[in-house]
Structure 1
Amino acid sequence: MKEYISIHSPRPIPVGYSAADIRNILEDTWAYMSCEIKDSPNSRSDFFGLNSYSWCGNATYTTSGYDKLVEQFSETSLPVFFSEYGCNEVQPRIFTEVGALYGKEMTKALGGGLVYEYSQEKNDYGLVQLHDNKTASILIDYDNLMEQYRKIDVSLLESLDPAATSIKPPKCSPDLIKDTKYFENDFKIPKAPESVPEMIKNGINNPTKGKLVEVKDTKPKYEVYDREGRILEGLELKKLGESQSNLPGENTSGTAGSSKDKKKAAASTVPSSNALCLIAVLTGLTLLMV
């Protein structure tokens, strides 16, 4: 995949790996993905994502095991972030882990994270409820998350030094793998299937090429409600300049209307794949990669 991108893509596209937070194999997984095979720079991952749900309710930096993650990833040679987080064993979720994730200790090793998940589904991790009449309702988890985001010290994040760019990756060797009972210590990359080298060399015939497009439709076409069932008025996606950033609590719009409109949101729900996606307008969530 990385070879194909390097030849045929007009821009660099990072290719990474997202791992479950299974502690007995996590260190070996990270070592396997981050090390470099001699004369094969494409062999290593460009980033390492971690799906972590160890911080539940009023956990702490230590009881959640976040301190162990910082210890493990402190000398990482590639970007590490939470590709999923947001334990729902305690409800409603209060997201106090946000302060730790973007605080002094964790930003030494990790670069933020992605909260799971945008729309409410059967597994009960949603921030927003999407309805079959194409309206949307903000849930309490959304408000709690935004409250934590507003507490982030953005100046701290902006002052951080991207140390991982200067750390050389370790060379792949069997001794990097600590527990061969659960993880293979052979770093040989399997030979590609017969037709793959030709495809990498020549590319795909008439591929669909993506391009940057100007966003013109900046206002949602359907109604969005707050937790009290009031319509949020004035919602709009604001365009920022190249030197601007979408920071928590800034560049937001929208106010709650009358509660008399509450009945309009009382429609049955549908999976997010069949509903209007209002992520950019609603959440204002920013992955602060450091």
Structure 2
Amino acid sequence: MSARRVLPGSDFWYEAFALQGAVAARLLPRMLVFALAAVASVLVYQRAPSVALRPEPIEASTVVLGLLLVFRTNAGYARWWEARTLWGSIVNQARNLTVSAFAYGPADAAWRQAIPRWVAVFAHVTRRSLRAERTLPEVVTLVGAPDAAAVAGAEHMPSYASARLALLLRDARDQHHMDPFAFLQLDRERVRLLEHAGGCERILATPIPSVYSFTTRSFIAVYLLALPLALVSSIGWFTPIAALFITYPILAVEQIGAELQIPFALTSLSHLPLDEICGKIERNVLAAAVEAPLPPGSAPTRGQSDTPPRELVR
């Protein structure tokens, strides 16, 4: 009997108490500060009962706080979802480019091996570029250490990989007589890949305006510091416990919004699974190189080889 597949979000009790991927650990220092403030409020109230606040202003400000948190979370999620959509387009575009290259490109074996390798390289270096990384072990495996060093030394690694794809397409047109209309279509697919990478860079380079974050967090800090003073007259020493129960969801929702706005960094709890996405792209395009039939009436012009000749890969 095969193991039951558990879909994300389907195991309530596991996710309710899971530590990995939860924001609780990042909230502990802030929660401790607000808990100490609640204890201090009780101590001050015992000496000066006049410091207690009426609950009505706190209750009214809760509506405003809720709106701020909704806007904050929606803004972060919009960035996260746009980034995921762009990477979904990179996956589709990589497959389209590879499949079309095999359908309309030359039968030359080395060319047909170089194309999917550089498509996979493009995906990997886009991921590395978004994370400000220059170590490229996947690229070394795909095209060799000299080419990987050239990619790592480029000012903009995705543009370099795209330029190598453009050279391969031009070689197919000039040396192997690829149909001009097919060449134009393939080059459009290549250009779209670079445009999607540029969209990801736009998200990375344009964070949510800082005034948005400052306003939300300032309001939260004032609200949570004033909250114990509104509770202490009615519940006394239970104030710190009640304040913590209210503090946690407020801070958690705000932190979720902050995490969602950084979709590429590994330090973010909500980062996109770019390693898995790039691995899927590499597997798909390299498998296409093995499975794609040669164009009708053609035969390979070079012997099959796991590593394409350096003059094409370069």
User: Taking CA–CA contacts closer than 8 Å with sequence separation of 6 or more, which of the two structures ends up with the larger relative contact order?
Assistant: 2
TM-score (norm 2): 0.19
Q: Which structure has the highest strand share of the two?
A: 1
- Please say which structure displays the higher CA radius of gyration: 2
